[in-house]
Chain A
């Protein structure tokens, strides 16, 4: 499962390594989300269930880093410095919201709907990823993806089962449609970041031009030879 948004498989030959890198962080984000679920769950049995699920997500993340490394070795693209593992990327890239984990923000019903829908959508995405030429030729990567797809379907099934016990009168298909629409909006946003930057950059440049020179005139107080404990503690500059 990948939460918040699911990266999109690239068109043939277009930044496959970058996409694999995104998948690795997305899965790591899911690991953290499910771990948070395990910590919040009340019953030990459910806690342990979430621990196992979290370990699946962790494994997926590691496996994506492995596929990335394999594909780089096969000469699919250049391994860039930005692929260096940096844990905080999971927040920077938006796979975990710094304001809170899903379990803190969603009701149990919405959370189960989310898991049910996203696990299925991720499985579909992996299906598309498998069809990319350089992946098709890499038997190890195909096996990894197959095993991950099986896990995703298991998680999808578990969420469905729990949902049907807890909320027998609700319909999951509506939730799936809702999540598909949300995902498409997230993807539009994701793929248009460059465009948004183009729109906002001149505005930021305008601000820099206006305020930059003013900022340069602000003098920062010096504390040389002063007792630091005697300075005004409410002063922010």
Chain B
């Protein structure tokens, strides 16, 4: 029997499948299959693939859980808009016009793919789905869960007291439009990046600036009397659909919003002004997170924290939060955003069923064995796509290591894909991290990313402790690049390419059973202890999913080598792109 969880209609739709014991057996994002980054449409391709892999039908699906309550979600923003804007306002009209593109149509959509007469359709609270997506990986009770995102069904921030996997108490919320996530998105929009896509670019840019606008900006959103309050005079997301910031915010920054075609190059005109704005917003975000975490502690006295929602992807803020003296453990799921909420939804289905049947239950889920769920195998037909096989499975790791030592860049399309937004080795581009020139080439020339965006390193645990100052509270986060660490001064020059301008690295600590761990183990003999690891996609494309995407991406990026579970391949010729 299976429990299906679905997240869709707002951003990054996805499907998760748990088995009868609540273990995550597969997870797919629609964007991997549709090839449209951030695809938010009903995840029909992802669902179809799971139906085919697992022969899903009404006979073996115990429940289908949608990750939020659709009517509540649709009404909450609408109510606010009707109350505060003229009736014919753009946002109100947009909500009415798009009612049939929203989650209100979930039941209709799902019934096209699975007969739902015999299967219960469940609806989890949006922020509960986030909490459960983290809890699925860290069944460690009691603890407190902090959820911070743009907007869920009614709430934008929540504090849940997780007393057990039968009792999760909703202690505190901030309601729309008082949203830390929407605040950060509004500044992202101001800086000319796309909302829900450019937030991590803004985080990278922030390190180059000084928080010159911090004092002014913090007046627009504050945590006061245990309430998060946004001054919506500065933010147009409450009234417009084409822009998230208001003219007042432009006046506050005394800078024109950046047009997307104006290049952001270090040292060039306006770069510093925009970096200062990003730094100010980052500082506001961090300070408000500190207050929310403090309040969560005051309410529960728990020292173990779960953190989820889109804002939990802000790895720079995560590290700073982990230093708060009352936090012993800060755990984040590999996919803390809305797509990962499908995992929480499927887990909700399991817990809902289990409470009827079992008295005592110990979950076997943990972060170590759930980073790459699924049944994916790439096909071995690269020879017919213009590739040579360089090494078979008995020697491919050795050969890969030799090529890395020769400063080659290797792409991987290896077995199951990672659940989260960070590539952890199975859909990665990897190279020698000790060569800063090579890392720069990988990031800017090959991946076409801005120079201000950092590249992350992967490292074995024994060397992580040698090269970096690690936070004990973030041990789990380091396994999937959810937090940054500071390199030790004596090694800085040796790994400059994977250290950001603020002197931090978003490290991935690998164990020796993982693909990158095995490669790192092999690389010791070449005196290479870190590899640069970035996702196998060109900027603004989704991560590569299968062998066809891999071939296309290799040509787009002009990369020669591809490592799959079937061997190591070399491209024989380039196709003009």
Q: Nearest-CB distance from B497 to chain A (Å)?
A: 27
How many angstroms between the C-alpha atoms of A162 and B300 in the bound complex? 69
Q: Select one of B122, B348, B355, B556 contacting A234, CB under 8 A.
A: B122
**Please, which residue of chain A has its CB at the minimum distance from the CB of B76?**
A220
How many angstroms between the C-alpha atoms of A91 and B101 in the bound complex? 12
- B243 near A81 with CB under 8 A, answer yes
Whether a CB of chain B sits under 8 angstroms from the CB of A45 is yes
- B128 near A55 with CB under 8 A, answer no
Q: Select one of A85, A96, A235 contacting B194, CB under 8 A.
A: A85
The interface residues of chain B lying within 8 Å CB-to-CB of A221 are 72
The interface residues of chain A lying within 8 Å CB-to-CB of B79 are 215-216, 218, 220
Whether a CB of chain B sits under 8 angstroms from the CB of A48 is yes
The interface residues of chain A lying within 8 Å CB-to-CB of B44 are 100
Whether a CB of chain A sits under 8 angstroms from the CB of B117 is no
- A237 near B75 with CB under 8 A, answer yes
Q: Select one of B42, B160, B172, B355 contacting A228, CB under 8 A.
A: B160
Whether a CB of chain B sits under 8 angstroms from the CB of A107 is no
In this complex, which of B197, B546, B552 has the most chain A Cβ atoms within 10 angstroms of its Cβ? B552
- A229 near B351 with CB under 8 A, answer yes
The interface residues of chain A lying within 8 Å CB-to-CB of B492 are none
Q: Select one of B75, B171, B556 contacting A215, CB under 8 A.
A: B75
| CB 8 Å contact bits of A203-237 with B (1 = contact, 0 = none) | 01101110111011010110111111111011111
Q: Nearest-CB distance from A187 to chain B (Å)?
A: 23
Whether a CB of chain B sits under 8 angstroms from the CB of A51 is yes
**Please, which residue of chain A has its CB at the minimum distance from the CB of B259?**
A79
- A227 near B169 with CB under 8 A, answer yes
- B355 near A220 with CB under 8 A, answer no
Whether a CB of chain B sits under 8 angstroms from the CB of A1 is no
The interface residues of chain B lying within 8 Å CB-to-CB of A20 are none
- B36 near A87 with CB under 8 A, answer yes
Whether a CB of chain B sits under 8 angstroms from the CB of A82 is yes
The interface residues of chain A lying within 8 Å CB-to-CB of B40 are 88
Place the interface of chain B in its size category.
Answer: 35 or more
**Please, which residue of chain B has its CB at the minimum distance from the CB of A31?**
B35
Of the 9-residue stretches B63-71, B264-272, B290-298, which lies at the interface with chain A? B63-71
How many angstroms between the C-alpha atoms of A194 and B44 in the bound complex? 31
The interface residues of chain A lying within 8 Å CB-to-CB of B515 are none
How many angstroms between the C-alpha atoms of A52 and B40 in the bound complex? 28
How many angstroms between the C-alpha atoms of A139 and B555 in the bound complex? 27
- A233 near B123 with CB under 8 A, answer yes
Given contacts A48-B386, A55-B552, A207-B96, contact A87 B65 (CB under 8 A): no
Q: Nearest-CB distance from A15 to chain B (Å)?
A: 16
- B384 near A235 with CB under 8 A, answer no
Given contacts A220-B75, A226-B170, A228-B169, contact A79 B261 (CB under 8 A): yes
The interface residues of chain A lying within 8 Å CB-to-CB of B257 are 81
In this complex, which of A32, A88, A91 has the most chain B Cβ atoms within 10 angstroms of its Cβ? A88
How many angstroms between the C-alpha atoms of A212 and B81 in the bound complex? 10
**Please, which residue of chain A has its CB at the minimum distance from the CB of B385?**
A48
Whether a CB of chain B sits under 8 angstroms from the CB of A35 is yes
Whether a CB of chain A sits under 8 angstroms from the CB of B441 is no
Q: Nearest-CB distance from B457 to chain A (Å)?
A: 28
**Of residues 170 to 211 in B, which have CB atoms within 8 Å of A's CB atoms?**
170-173, 192-194, 197
- B261 near A236 with CB under 8 A, answer no
**Please, which residue of chain B has its CB at the minimum distance from the CB of A45?**
B384
| CB 8 Å contact bits of A49-66 with B (1 = contact, 0 = none) | 001101100110010000
Q: Select one of B37, B87, B131, B242 contacting A208, CB under 8 A.
A: B87
- A58 near B556 with CB under 8 A, answer yes
Q: Select one of A54, A211, A223, A236 contacting B170, CB under 8 A.
A: A223
**Of residues 70 to 123 in A, which have CB atoms within 8 Å of B's CB atoms?**
72, 79, 81-88, 90-91, 96, 98, 100
Given contacts A87-B36, A98-B41, A220-B75, contact A234 B385 (CB under 8 A): no
| CB 8 Å contact bits of A173-190 with B (1 = contact, 0 = none) | 000000000000000000
Q: Select one of B39, B169, B355 contacting A88, CB under 8 A.
A: B39
- A215 near B261 with CB under 8 A, answer no
- B36 near A96 with CB under 8 A, answer yes
How many angstroms between the C-alpha atoms of A212 and B87 in the bound complex? 8
- B556 near A87 with CB under 8 A, answer no
Given contacts A83-B261, A234-B121, A237-B75, contact A229 B167 (CB under 8 A): yes
Top 5 nearest A-B pairs by Cβ distance?
Answer: A84-B260, A44-B384, A233-B122, A87-B37, A237-B71
B contact set with A: CB distance below 8 Å: 34-42, 44, 65, 69-72, 75-76, 78-79, 82-83, 87-88, 92-93, 96-97, 120-125, 128, 131, 154, 160, 165-173, 192-194, 197, 242-243, 257, 259-261, 348, 351-352, 355, 381, 384-386, 540-541, 546, 548-549, 551-552, 555-556, 575-577
Can you list 23 A-B contacts with CB-CB less than 8 angstroms, sorted by A residue number? A44-B381, A52-B575, A55-B555, A55-B576, A62-B577, A83-B260, A85-B540, A88-B40, A201-B93, A205-B88, A208-B96, A216-B82, A220-B154, A223-B125, A225-B171, A227-B169, A228-B168, A229-B167, A229-B351, A234-B120, A234-B121, A234-B122, A235-B123
